[in-house]
Amino acid sequence: MWTDNNMLSQDTLKKIDREIAKYPADQKQSAVMAALALAQEEKGWLAKETIACVAEYLDMPPMAAYEVATFYNMYDLAPVGKYKLTVCTNLPCALSGGVHVADYLKQKLGVDFNETTADGMFTLKQGECLGVCGDAPVMLVNNRRLCSYMATEEIDKLLAELKS
């Protein structure tokens, strides 16, 4: 049904097994959020076929896994740049420069929210609350790396680091 390209690596499957072990034996589906996150980590984004692959591994209908993938906003259902930058612009962050920083990034990268730079390096996203308002301005790199107190000079440093 899917090509080898959509199959998950042994390493990813091993990590998914560790997640499955956290739940009662008849509740494999509980591991779907972690499994989709791991699949996305390997593939860069979640194609329908990748989601189906995860569903089959967890003995659940592909639609049920697709429902999860479309509900939570950290799953990417379309390709993104090498680095996805998510900037929080919600009220508490805005009060401490969140919007200012988002504008700076837009200008620096030459893209708007939900766009990817021509070289495929960066995708810019607007985040809703990341849960670290005290560190504003804040941003996330590829869902994993949280960057606090991102004044414009810090952003310059981060972009230079990611480009190198």
Partner 1 sequence: MSTQQILLAGLDPKTGDQTWHLADYVKRGGYAALKKILSENISPEAVINEVKKSALRGRGGAGFPAGLKWGFIPKNYQGPRYICCNTDEGEPGTFKDRDLMRFNPHQVIEGMIIAGYAVGSERGYNYIHGEVWSLYKRFEEALDEARAAGFLGQKILGSNFNFELFAHHGYGAYVCGEETGLLESIEGKKGQPRYKPPFPANFGLYGRPTVINNTETFAAVPWIIINGGEKYLELGKPNNGGTKLFSVSGHVVKPGVYEVPMGTPFPVLLEMCGGMRNGKLKAVIPGGSSAPVLPADIMMDCTLDYDSIAKAGSMLGSGAVIVMDESVCMVKALERLSYFYFEESCGQCTPCREGTGWLYRVVHRIEHGQGKPEDMELLNSVTNNIMGRTICALGDAAAMPVRSFTKHFKSEFEYHIENKKCLVPPEVQREGSRIYVTPNRVPSC
Q: Which residues bind partner 1 (CB under 8 A)?
A: 22-24, 27, 29-34, 36-37, 58, 60, 64, 67-68, 71-75, 89-97, 99-100, 112-114, 126-136, 140, 143-146
Q: In what order do the strands lie in the sheet with 139-141?
A: 115-116, 122-127, 83-88, 139-141, 145-147
Tell me whether residue 53 or residue 68 sits nearer to partner 1 (CB atom): 68
Rounded to the nearest whole angstrom, what is the least distance from the CB of residue 65 to partner 1 in the complex? 8
| Torsional sign, CA 37, 44, 79, 17 | negative
Tell me whether residue 3 or residue 152 sits nearer to partner 1 (CB atom): 152
Looking at this protein, which amino acid is placed at residue 163?
Answer: K
Tell me whether residue 5 or residue 24 sits nearer to partner 1 (CB atom): 24
In the chain the beta strands, taken as DSSP E runs, fall at 83-88, 115-116, 122-127, 139-141, 145-147
Residue bearing tokens 């810090």 = 154
Tell me whether residue 5 or residue 112 sits nearer to partner 1 (CB atom): 112
Rounded to the nearest whole angstrom, what is the least distance from the CB of residue 3 to partner 1 in the complex? 26
